[in-house]
Every structure is written in structure tokens, then in C-alpha cells.
Amino acid sequence: MPRKLVVGNWKMNGSCAANRALVADLRKAGVDAAADVAVCVPFPYLQQVGELLAGSAIRLGAQNVSAFEAGAHTGEVSCAMLREFDCHFVIVGHSERRVMQRETSVEVAHKAAAALAAGLVPIVCVGETLAERETGKVEAVLQSQLDALGGALTADALARVVIAYEPVWAIGTGVAATPAQVQAVLGFVRDWLEQRAVAANVPVLYGGSVKPDSAQELFGLPGCDGGLIGGASLVAADFVSICEAARLS
Ligand code: PGA
């Protein structure tokens, strides 16, 4: 059975001292023996965390990237810059950016395409709000988010992405989606990928309030290849337990 992928999304958290302590704890626990593990850190810490991870199999990622190559885009960071800091992954389309920075699915798809062209692996986040779930729109929302991606990527490129299903209402709330809810959406995503003949290659993760006590059941669901972990990725003991749950699931 392939190893699960567990990705920490530190969001806008961390400090040089806290990063040092957290990475030291993850290395000491050997999380990379339990699963494929990555941490997606704020831009200013890419160099520091990259150096702290040297010699371990824990991979480095960023949390956003520009779809543009270079030039007059004040405050933005390019794919080539991320590559210079040995990033492997970049999260695109996190719901916090879709909501707060008003990123559209088309922009997210262009970011994913730029990332792939630069040799990065985009972790493309999709998911519905509570209002959309309560009004029966889950599949329509996912379909439109995924179709935008399909519209911007060739089948070859699509085969190299990671998809993270993150219901907006489960992020940072302490209320994870139920296994039945997750399974239903993962099935929908798999069907969408299958229609494009790339389902076998694309890891599909779940994210949203994954904790040590819920991780094993969620990761063990059919078609679940691991998780995107926010709050719990900042607490070494929790992230270590979640990686261990990935090994057991
Ligand atoms: P959470 O965040 O685990 O804190 O809910 C997940 C995410 O936003 O990726």
C-alpha cells in the first residue's frame, strides 16, 4: 500500500525560535519514516526551515504563489523563487485565500499550471462552505472548482497535482467532516479524476480539523491518501501522532 501524504499548513504562524523547536521535534520523532511528510511555511521562513530540514525526508512547501513569472507584481512571489529555496510543494486555492484575497477558481488553476511548469507540486484546495452544503450544492461547487483546474491543465499536468478536499466549515473550527461526508466527496473527486484518466496518479487529501484522535479513521477511508493539517501541525506531539496515524491507517 502506498504511504500516506501528511502536509502541515503552518498558515501565518511561526518564529525563528518556534520553527527551530518544532522541526527539531519532528526530526527527533522520525515522522518521515511513518509517512510522506511536508511542511508548508510562510515565505520568510523558507530558507530557515529548508536548512533545518536538510538531510531529512520531510519536504518543504509554500502556501501560495503567483501565476506570473516576474515583474510588476508587488508583494508576490514567483514559482522560480520557490524553486530556489528547494520547495517541493505549494498550496494553491486555500479557502482562506479564496475568501480573503478573493481568488477565483480560474486564478487558482493558473497558479497550479505555473507551479507545475516550474517543477513544483501544487496542492490544490477545493471545498464547499456551510451554506453551500446546507443548500445541497456540494457537488456543484466541487465540480466548478475542479473544472476550472481541468480547463487550465493538460491531462499530463493534471496527473501531477495533489488535491485537498477541505470543507470550509471544518477548517479551524474543531469540527471535522464526518467520515461519511469525507468519503462521499472523495468519491466524487475520484470520479472526476477518473473521467480524465488520471485518478490512479493523483493523491487526494482531506483537511479540516484533523486531530490525532480523528486522523486514523479519516486517512483510512477508501480513496483518502492523507491529510492537510493546519492547527495540529504547529503542535509537535499532535503532528507526530497524526503522521503515526497515517502509517497505521
Ligand atoms: P485546520 O486547518 O487543520 O486547522 O482545520 C486545515 C487547513 O486550513 O489546511
Residues 214-231 pLDDT 10s = 999 999 999 999 999 999
Task: Report how far ligand 1's centroid is from the alpha carbon of 2 (Å).
Answer: 24
**Angle of CA points 55, 7, 161, to nearest 5°:** 100
- Of all atoms in ligand 1, which is nearest to the CA of residue 11? 8
Residue 249 in this model has a pLDDT that exceeds 80: yes
H/E element, 90: strand 89-92
Q: What's the grid cell of residue 101? A: 484575497
166 as an active site residue: the answer is: yes
Substitution candidate for ligand 1 out of 98, 210, 234, 239 with most atoms within 8 A of CB: 210
Mean pLDDT within 96-119: 97
Ligand 1 site residues, Cβ closer than 6 angstroms: 9, 166, 171-172, 207-210, 228-232
CA distance 138 to 231: 24
Banded model confidence at residue 54, pLDDT cuts 50, 70, 90: very high
* Predicted pLDDT of residue 199: 83
Q: What's the grid cell of residue 38? A: 511536508
* Predicted pLDDT of residue 134: 97
Residues 73-83 pLDDT 10s = 999 999 999 99
Residues 191-209 pLDDT 10s = 999 999 888 889 999 999 9
- Of all atoms in ligand 1, which is nearest to the CA of residue 209? 5
Give the whole-number percent of the chain exceeding pLDDT 90.
97
CA distance 138 to 208: 16
Residues 22-43 pLDDT 10s = 999 999 999 999 899 999 999 9
Name residue, grid cell 512547501.
61
* 8 Å CB contact between 146 and 188: no
In this structure, which residue's CA is closest to atom 3 in ligand 1?
A: 230
Which of the 8 DSSP states describes residue 135? T
Q: What is the dihedral of CA 59, 63, 68, 74, to 10 degrees?
A: -130
Banded model confidence at residue 1, pLDDT cuts 50, 70, 90: low
